[in-house]
Structure 1
Amino acid sequence: MKKFNWIFLLLTLSMFIVGCQANDQTSNTNGTVTITISENKQEEIIATKEIELNDETNLMTLMEENFDIVVEGDGFITAIEGEEQVPDNNLYWMYTVNGEQANVGASDFELSPNDKVNFDLQEVSY
């Protein structure tokens, strides 16, 4: 019986030690995302880049590091690669991730490996 107790104690301690080790991986490392810039609901492609993700990268950071963008106000992207939105004509930059319309701003969107992002300058009707 004493032998069983010692084995149980050693197994418990080894699981505890392994469980306490640091885990430096995050959900958005070691992968890439593809970002496409387009106009008129993707009729005209302006640029496409495949970009490596790094720790704690949000979409705004990748846009600032890889594209020529203009950001105004509370983080609204108003121009990408020299193409400006035109509020008088209801032309705005909208973005989708994996084909789904995003419901947060680019600075709040955390990317995952293999995400496909599309920024499109398009007419928005209200």
Structure 2
Amino acid sequence: MRKLLFLVTIFFALLTVGCSNEVKQESSTSAANAQIILVVDEESEVFEVEFVEGLSLMEIMKENFDVETAFEDSFIIGINGLLADDSAKMGWMYTINGEFAMKGANEYTPEDGDTVEFKYESWE
């Protein structure tokens, strides 16, 4: 009987430790907000998006917009049906908090409060 009581105690102790780790993992991911601005022909549309910290800009864009990509999912070539046009040399360029992005959307991890502006413009 004593052996059974000991095993039951150990089982519940391990169960408690396992549950406390799960709670820690869930609380380590927090929600953040960013402003996404889409600009076409000088007309802007502003979107407030909520996302889990640690996601790439590409993941956030795919969750909130209809996005077309190229180059192994590293470059956005279309947003909400408006695709890059090679013959007109037009495409989507983006800035982060007013600074031109120096990496692809799949490599940038937005922070809470960021403003990301995607502008459909000439690359010449």
**TM-score, shorter chain, exceeding 0.5:** yes
How far did 1:25 drift? 4.4
Identity of aligned residues (%): 30
How far did 1:30 drift? 3.6
Partner residue of 1:38?
A: 39
Answer yes or no: is the 8 Å Cα contact 2:34–2:114 preserved in 1.
yes
Separation in 2 of the partners of 1:48 and 1:119?
10
How far did 1:73 drift? 2.1
Q: Which runs of 5+ in 2 are unaligned?
A: 1-23
Partner residue of 1:19?
A: none
Answer yes or no: is the 8 Å Cα contact 2:68–2:76 preserved in 1.
yes
How far did 1:67 drift? 0.2
Q: How does 1:1-126 map to 2 (within 5 A)?
A: 25=28, 29-40=30-41, 43-45=42-44, 47-74=45-72, 75-125=74-124
SS in structure 2 of the partner of residue 31 of structure 1? strand
Q: How many residues align?
A: 99
What TM-score comes out, normalization by structure 2 length?
0.72
How far did 1:56 drift? 1.6
Alignment CA distance shift 1:123-1:88 (3 Å): same
How far did 1:77 drift? 1.1
Q: Which runs of 5+ in 1 are unaligned?
A: 1-21
How far did 1:59 drift? 0.3
Partner residue of 1:4?
A: none
Give the CA RMSD over aligned residues.
1.8
The amino acid of 1:120's aligned partner reads K
Separation in 2 of the partners of 1:76 and 1:115?
20
**CA deviation profile, 1:91-126 (whole Å, cap 9, x unmatched):** 01100000000000000001111000001110111x
Separation in 2 of the partners of 1:53 and 1:67?
13
Runs of 4+ in 1 over 3 A off after TM superposition: 22-26
SS in structure 2 of the partner of residue 108 of structure 1? coil
